[in-house]
């Protein structure tokens, strides 16, 4: 596995500072796979100038790639998080384009490719992840033509009219085409990629068989998931249930709990969601006596201006809603801005009557799947943005347009008042889907196609068997 982020990160500088588990969908998905499959994880420790030697963490061989302070600024904060991240998320904020950032991106991608080449045995499978490392497939192929190379993009891949903004668009397409298999969260993303390759005359053919440089490259949808059984088992543990009970007691046992759990990112729609909750109270569709909204948000990319701004903005919105609606002992929005351990998050999922997952754009959103996996009683209601990749599979959620404040507010009210039998029917369908399509099925289907075993003619090699329509995952337009 080659990914910018390792399963744990350092909090300080250089080789000082303690280790903490990393938040984010990529780590949540990849960790269980590497625990059950022998292999190494090549990535950055999260601290500048850190020269930590390879080590073993929880059975996983970790091979750190060092980044200098300037590289962290240009490659990670710059090119990755101020160019690709906003560009690939519908340009929610304006992406920036700087040649110095691009130079650094190129250099760091070379370093990751060299480390991956050193880590791989002859004939190995190398799986490269996410937008930080889009040049690695091509660079690795040049060094190690003997390995099979897979790439997976955890975030959306934009349509042509947005991607074309990128001054280095052909370099990125060529970089990705170095892979044998390119996985996307949705069939639409795979189609966007194939269309761009044809448009720039870098490849011919359809997404599932792009002819490039004398090779066949396959671009296909593999909707990522979670380790369902792990969450399901952990959510049944007495200590999890006891803590969930305690949370309910602390907020007021008669109050229904609405919950959100996100990285503090402008793509997640946290501001609009809290505003909608405020409207819910303003329109008297609910009151602080009968409900409370808990927002847990992990600080993220805090050196980047847009994230600093977001943090201040959310502080303000929470203050405004609480100032207007809270009463003694009845705080409207309880906001926890911190990174929690998984053991700390689980009881919140178990305690919450309603889960609000309302990103403006999201590659998949694993939080939605984690909530469903923790609802072992089969109750609870999920409100889910149409603009999360998860919306394609999780059809029984109440789906919302997060930019439509009126309807989003009303959907929160519907979730709070949903008939319990209807809620159970929906949750049972959601659990069936997430259980069948868990992270092990995801990685197996990817590896099967990468090894050349499965024909992969549809959007996913794994039988769906759930209530999602096949149309949602197949690449019909190609």
Determine, following the binding rule CB under 6 A, whether residue 369 of this chain makes contact with ligand F6P: no
Contact 127, 2 (CB under 8 A): yes
Q: What is the residue-wise DSSP string for 308-373?
A: HHHHHHHHHHHHHHHHHH-BTTB-SEEEEES---HHHHHHHHHH-SEEEE--SSBS--HHHHHHHH
Determine, following the binding rule CB under 6 A, whether residue 28 of this chain makes contact with ligand ADP: yes
Determine, following the binding rule CB under 6 A, whether residue 365 of this chain makes contact with ligand F6P: no
Contact 422, 205 (CB under 8 A): no
Q: What is the residue-wise DSSP string for 58-96?
A: TTEEEEE----HHHIIIIIIIIIIIIIHHHHTTTSS---
Residue 310 binding partner per list ligand ADP, ligand F6P, none, with a CB distance cut-off of 5 to 8 Å that depends on partner kind:
none
The alpha carbon dihedral of 299, 303, 304, 308 has a sign of positive
The alpha carbon dihedral of 163, 165, 171, 175 has a sign of negative
Residue 28 binding partner per list ligand F6P, ligand ADP, none, with a CB distance cut-off of 5 to 8 Å that depends on partner kind:
ligand ADP
Q: Could you say which of 8, 261, 281, 321 contacts ligand ADP (CB under 6 A)?
A: 261
Which listed residue (50, 180, 227, 362) is catalytic? 362
Positions in 292-311 near ligand ADP (CB under 6 A):
296-298
> Residue with the closest Cβ to ligand F6P?
24
43, HSE (Cβ side, Cα atoms, 13 Å): 27
Between 325 and 371, CB nearer to ligand ADP: 371
Residue 217 binding partner per list ligand F6P, ligand ADP, none, with a CB distance cut-off of 5 to 8 Å that depends on partner kind:
none
Between 85 and 277, CB nearer to ligand F6P: 85
Residue 365 binding partner per list ligand ADP, ligand F6P, none, with a CB distance cut-off of 5 to 8 Å that depends on partner kind:
ligand ADP
Binding region for ligand F6P (CB under 6 A) out of 21-29, 113-121, 209-217, 276-284: 21-29
Provide the CA 393 distance to its chain's centre, in angstroms.
15
Please name every residue paired with 251 in a beta bridge, in sequence order, or none if there are none.
none
> How far apart are the C-alpha atoms of 20 and 4, rounded to whole Å?
16
Which listed residue (154, 262, 353, 438) is catalytic? 154
Q: Site for ligand F6P (CB under 6 A): how many residues?
A: 10
Q: Shortest approach of ligand F6P to residue 70 CB, angstroms?
A: 18
22, HSE (Cβ side, Cα atoms, 13 Å): 22
Between 344 and 471, CB nearer to ligand ADP: 344
Q: Could you say which of 155, 258, 310, 317 contacts ligand F6P (CB under 6 A)?
A: 155
Between 168 and 184, CB nearer to ligand ADP: 184
Residue 113 binding partner per list ligand ADP, ligand F6P, none, with a CB distance cut-off of 5 to 8 Å that depends on partner kind:
none
Residues 6+ apart with CB under 8 A from 355: 258, 259, 260, 349, 367, 368, 371, 380, 381, 382, 383
Determine, following the binding rule CB under 6 A, whether residue 5 of this chain makes contact with ligand F6P: yes
Q: Shortest approach of ligand F6P to residue 8 CB, angstroms?
A: 12
Q: Site for ligand ADP (CB under 6 A): how many residues?
A: 18
Q: Which of 55, 58, 64 is nearest to 31 (CA)?
A: 58
Q: Could you say which of 45, 300, 385, 445 contacts ligand F6P (CB under 6 A)?
A: 300
CB-based burial label for 210 (10 Å; 0-12, 13-18, 19+): buried
Provide the CA 436 distance to its chain's centre, in angstroms.
19
Determine, following the binding rule CB under 6 A, whether residue 301 of this chain makes contact with ligand F6P: yes
361: phi then psi, degrees, rounded to nearest 5? -160, 135
444, HSE (Cβ side, Cα atoms, 13 Å): 10
Q: Shortest approach of ligand F6P to residue 85 CB, angstroms?
A: 7
Determine, following the binding rule CB under 6 A, whether residue 130 of this chain makes contact with ligand F6P: yes
Residue 83 binding partner per list ligand ADP, ligand F6P, none, with a CB distance cut-off of 5 to 8 Å that depends on partner kind:
none
Question: Tokens 């959103």 identify what position?
Answer: 365
Between 23 and 181, CB nearer to ligand ADP: 23
Contact 207, 191 (CB under 8 A): yes
Positions in 340-369 near ligand ADP (CB under 6 A):
340, 345, 364-367
| Pattern 391-430, ligand F6P, x by CB under 6 A | ----------------------------------------
Question: 362 an active-site residue?
Answer: yes
Between 279 and 362, CB nearer to ligand ADP: 362
Between 298 and 332, CB nearer to ligand F6P: 298
Contact 8, 57 (CB under 8 A): yes
Which stretch of DSSP H or E encloses residue 128? strand 125-129
Binding region for ligand ADP (CB under 6 A) out of 57-65, 246-254, 258-266, 372-380: 258-266
β-strand pairing of 333-337 with 215-221:
unpaired
Question: Tokens 């960790």 identify what position?
Answer: 31
Contact 266, 92 (CB under 8 A): yes
Per CB under 6 A, residues contacting ligand ADP are 23-25, 28, 261-263, 296-298, 339-340, 345, 364-367, 370
Per CB under 6 A, residues contacting ligand F6P are 5, 24-26, 130, 154-155, 263, 300-301
Show which residues are catalytic. 154, 362
């Amino acid at each position: 596995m080659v990914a910018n982020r390792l399963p744990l990160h350092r909090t300080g500088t250089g080789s000082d500072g303690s280790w903490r588990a990393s938040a984010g969908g990529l780590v949540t998905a990849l960790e269980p796979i590497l625990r059950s499959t022998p292999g190494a994880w090549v990535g950055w420790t999260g601290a500048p100038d850190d020269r930590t030697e390879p080590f073993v963490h929880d059975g996983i061989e970790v091979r750190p790639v060092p980044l200098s302070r300037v590289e962290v600024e240009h490659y990670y904060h710059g090119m990755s998080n101020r160019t690709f991240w906003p560009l690939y998320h519908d340009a929610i904020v304006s992406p920036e384009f700087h040649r110095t950032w691009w130079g650094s991106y190129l250099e760091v991608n070379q370093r990751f490719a060299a480390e991956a080449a050193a880590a791989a045995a002859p004939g190995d499978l190398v799986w490269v992840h996410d937008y930080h490392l889009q040049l690695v497939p091509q660079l690795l192929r040049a060094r190690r033509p003997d390995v099979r190379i897979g790439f997976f993009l955890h975030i959306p891949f934009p349509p042509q009219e947005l991607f074309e903004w990128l001054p280095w668009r052909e370099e990125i397409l060529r970089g990705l085409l170095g892979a044998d298999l390119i996985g996307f969260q949705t069939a639409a993303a795979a189609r966007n990629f194939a269309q761009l390759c044809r448009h720039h005359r870098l490849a011919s053919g359809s997404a599932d068989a792009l002819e490039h440089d004398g090779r066949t490259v396959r671009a296909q949808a593999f909707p990522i998931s979670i380790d369902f059984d792990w969450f399901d088992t952990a959510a049944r543990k007495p200590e999890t249930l006891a803590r969930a009970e305690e949370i309910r007691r602390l907020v007021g046992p008669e109050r229904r709990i609405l919950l959100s759990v996100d990285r503090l990112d402008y793509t997640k729609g946290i501001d609009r969601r809290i505003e909608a909750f405020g409207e819910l109270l303003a329109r008297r569709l609910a009151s602080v006596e009968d409900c409370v909204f808990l927002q847990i948000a992990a600080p993220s990319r805090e050196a980047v201006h847009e994230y600093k701004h977001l943090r201040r903005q959310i502080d303000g919105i929470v203050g405004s809603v609480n100032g207007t609606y809270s009463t003694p002992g009845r705080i409207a929005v309880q906001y926890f801005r911190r990174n929690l351990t998984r053991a700390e998050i689980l009881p919140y999922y178990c305690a919450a009557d309603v889960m609000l997952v309302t990103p403006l754009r999201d590659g998949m959103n694993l939080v939605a799947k984690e909530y469903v996996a923790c609802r072992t009683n089969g109750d609870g209601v999920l409100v889910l943005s149409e603009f999360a990749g998860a919306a394609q599979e999780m059809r029984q959620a109440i789906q919302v347009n997060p930019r439509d404040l009126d309807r989003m507010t009303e959907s929160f009210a519907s979730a709070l008042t949903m008939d319990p039998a209807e809620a159970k029917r929906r949750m049972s369908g959601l659990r069936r889907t997430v259980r069948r399509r868990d992270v092990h099925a995801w990685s197996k289907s990817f590896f099967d196609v990468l090894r050349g075993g499965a024909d992969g003619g549809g959007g996913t090699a794994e039988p769906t068997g759930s209530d999602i329509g096949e149309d949602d995952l197949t690449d019909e337009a190609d």
